[in-house]
Structure 1
Amino acid sequence: MIVWGYSTKTQIVKSVDIGCSHCHHKTLNIVAYKKVFDLFWIPCFPFSAQHALACPTCGTHYDISSTTIDVKTLKSSPSWKHFIGLIIFPLILGSVHVFSKMKEDNYLKEAEIYRQNIQADDKVILETDEDKKFPYVVYKVTNTSDLTITGVFSKYAYKTLDRARNAAKYPKDGDFETTESPISKEEFNTLSNIKAIVR
């Protein structure tokens, strides 16, 4: 779920020599009220601004259009804090990608170690091209010999590698087919679509 909305940020543009009619302070501030787009309560970018006059002493606000001040000539550069979301979110997404890649590499290294000494009850996670949405299947090794490996495939395909690993780690009754599918050890050792082996 994505939480988004906007918040209003206040920025003092400059002071002008106009007196406050309430507290008789000699100057008023031109204040910019900027609407800032927020994503998960983090400001991403400003998208509109309105100006008003405000007394720095008593806080009374005045309509700027009742003065001779031309709002179009006012320049108020937005604070870098209004753009912090544009910095944070790419960093978060990049970090997630890097860590998931590192985790996948660790799974592959572990799989290479287990592949050399495959045992009964090992669960091999394979990536298939049959279904792009659910590309991962689990092959449970039931028996090994010098030349062949025998096992059964999972009845289900999985959307992510982590889900397939969880299903392999914590199998339930009826998760696997009953018909065994043998494969030669030579062919097994050359398979390139092995993504993980769970022991």
Structure 2
Amino acid sequence: MSESATTSLREQKRWETSQRITLCAQRLTDEHGLDGFTMDDLAGAAEVSRRTLFNYFPSKLDAVLGEHPEIPPAVLATFHTGGPHGDLVEDLAELARAVLAVKQPDRGQVELVRRLMSTNPRLLVAAHERFEGITEEFTELVLEREGAGFDRARARLLLRLLLALFDTALVELLQEGETRSLDELFEVQLATTRQLFTS
């Protein structure tokens, strides 16, 4: 087996463990509340050692929120050089597609997370802080690509609009009878928004 294949398998295993811990943390929070279980309880539920758990997440809050998927370096490099389409909005959407290719939540997961957010104010605050961090991270990516002449406020607005489309796609995913995947719903929201702003 090649070194790259071994690395890929290792990364996949790490991601699967991270996802298992997060799902266990979310279920424990749903059943007992955020203060109703310990990190030891979480380690036992996820079938990992306490040391392994802390290697992944420093706190219960972090475990419940989970890791956000890493965008492949090659995809980021293509974005940085102005690709793959040469259109900033479409290329940012390509980054979103890369994230969804790694983590495609189902309806049950989305319902669970939204329920937890509505009943745990600390989680909502932590999620908002993470949202702001992701916005800043991607703002820097846009500014690196577009150059110093691109207004920071404009970049932030664009990213907030795209994240709003993503959130709308999540809401649609929860609708009764909806059979489309999250990435399909995101594409619909993006296309509809383009039509609204160009009509």
- Which range, TM-score by smaller chain? under 0.3
Normalising by the residue count of structure 2, what TM-score does the alignment of the two structures yield?
0.22
Structure index of larger Rg: 1
More strand by share: 1
In proportion to residue count, which structure has more helix? 2
Structure-1-length-normalised TM-score = 0.22
